[in-house]
Structure 1
Amino acid sequence: MTWLTKITPDLSSRRARAAFSNAGELHRLLIDLASEHLGEETMPSPRQHAGILFRVDEARTGPVLLAQSHGRLAVDRLGDGFGQAAERDLAPFLAGLEKGREVRYRLAATPCKRLGKSEKNAERLGERARPGVNAYTRPLYGADAEQWWRERAERCGLELREVRSTGMGPALDPGRSGRRKVRLHMTRFDGYAVVTDPEAVRGAVVEGVGRGKSFGCGMLSLASAEW
């Protein structure tokens, strides 16, 4: 099962404003809403276990949180005054995807290039070399970011017919102590595509695309092109 939950916050609520203040807070909120599927024991990747992916879209009335999960989220845990929630089972739509079908897509991702872990690469990025780093990455912008998405879309079973890219604010997570300093550059991709491999597309929707999935990146949304 794959569920899509739409949460429209009431920004007069202090709790809602706090939750929407950064990507880390939204991640922690969604883990809490999925807690009944996670059990009581600590696990290494609760986000992955619950299938949580999310993205914040801007509507005319303000921000809207779209969250995807394997099971239904316990939206009643939001409490009174937080906002409104609606949910939809994506399984019928995903099961109906066929080769040759035209779809609209949206993806907010953090396009980047892996540089390796040498001190030179740290210097190139204006950083200090850090022990234990497996690889440094360089953010991609503009045409380079679009090329990153074209290459991944092909692996995800999509033939892109249109790509519109929009630079977004960074995904942030200062952590509860304020010392975490996660900052990921984000680009949103929109357009039309044709399904070339339905199984690969379903896998990309369920698993997400690229890095930063705990911070609001990687959720691939599809809709019928005629909608």
Structure 2
Amino acid sequence: MFLTRFRLNTARHGSRRLLSSPQAMHAAVMSSFPGVLPTTAPAADAPRTLWRLDERARAEVILYLVSPDRPDLTHLVEQAGWPAVATPDDPGWQTRPYQPFLDRLTAGQHWAFRLTANPVHTIRRKEGEPRKLTAHLTHRHQMGWLLDEERQKRAGFRIAEKPAGRRTLPGGTTHKGHPHHGDRYELSLNDTRSLSFSKSRPGGGNRSRVTLVTATFEGRLEITDPDLLRRTLTHGIGRARAYGCGLLTLAPAPKPARQEAR
């Protein structure tokens, strides 16, 4: 497994085209692996190529990749990077082995995390109708999607709770008694987007329209099952993984500030 980081040059037309369409970005990402044909589908239980765009500022957009094979991003550098300053030692992207990091994960560790996901659920509008996949649209329901206990258990982690002294509201609840997810847990929802883009049909013909909602979460988690978490990190979480969703990344968790002695 490999973890790759590539900064897009947002002043270039190629970058703007990729950023406007998850379908185009997906195609560019998959073109980074010469041994993978466009029609090749990953085995059901095999690690897959995951990607995510982090927009830290208007001119700083980072593409992250987690992949079973080492990628070659030469075409992305030429289209959306800084090809004139690329060198053999610094080709314009950074790739490092991911497995040593995965092997160091153990139960009880705390990590900061970032995740862009596609929070959805199924509903039935009328009795007898088939259930329909529908996006969560409100802040509370999107937070609740990630805080679902069964989802966290399957993923191998637990979202950390804030100490009682750091909660704005008593018990982390609203005045109506409903869960106030953003106050009780070390979790924030930083960005929600509704995306709509064209997708090519197999064999050509008319293009279909894809619409999805994404939510970007940041917070702190505790590892409950290292093997399940390793699978989550290499297989993704949730739906729309081909379109930049599902990649969970970890970073060292900041140490909590010490409370002053009273």
Shorter-chain TM-score: what band?
0.7 to 0.9
Over the matched positions of the two proteins, sequence identity in percent amounts to 24
Q: Which runs of 5+ in 2 are unaligned?
A: 82-91, 161-185, 256-262
Number of aligned residue pairs: 212
Alignment match, 1:53: 50
Q: Which runs of 5+ in 1 are unaligned?
A: 123-134
Contact conserved, 2:47 with 2:235, CA < 8 A, in 1?
A: no
Alignment match, 2:197: 173
Q: 2:63 corresponds to which letter in structure 1?
A: L
Tell me by how many angstroms 1:13 deviates: 2.4
Give runs of aligned pairs for residues 53-202 of structure 1, distance below 5 A: 53-60=50-57, 61-80=59-78, 82-83=80-81, 84-115=92-123, 135-140=131-136, 141-151=138-148, 152-161=151-160, 162-175=186-199, 179-202=207-230
Q: TM-score, normalised by structure 2?
A: 0.72
Contact conserved, 1:23 with 1:172, CA < 8 A, in 2?
A: no
Using a 3 Å threshold, how does the CA distance of structure 1 residues 222 and 79 change in structure 2: closer, same or farther? closer
Using a 3 Å threshold, how does the CA distance of structure 1 residues 86 and 117 change in structure 2: closer, same or farther? farther
Tell me by how many angstroms 1:57 deviates: 0.6
Tell me by how many angstroms 1:119 deviates: 9.1
Using a 3 Å threshold, how does the CA distance of structure 1 residues 209 and 136 change in structure 2: closer, same or farther? same
Alignment match, 1:25: 24
Alignment match, 1:127: none
Tell me by how many angstroms 1:172 deviates: 3.6
> CA–CA distance in 1 between the matches of 2:219 and 2:132?
30
Using a 3 Å threshold, how does the CA distance of structure 1 residues 58 and 42 change in structure 2: closer, same or farther? closer
The answer as to 2:245 corresponding to 1:217 is yes
Alignment match, 1:6: 5
Using a 3 Å threshold, how does the CA distance of structure 1 residues 37 and 79 change in structure 2: closer, same or farther? same
Contact conserved, 1:31 with 1:47, CA < 8 A, in 2?
A: no
> CA–CA distance in 2 between the matches of 1:224 and 1:169?
27
Moved over 3 A (4+): 44-50, 116-122, 176-179
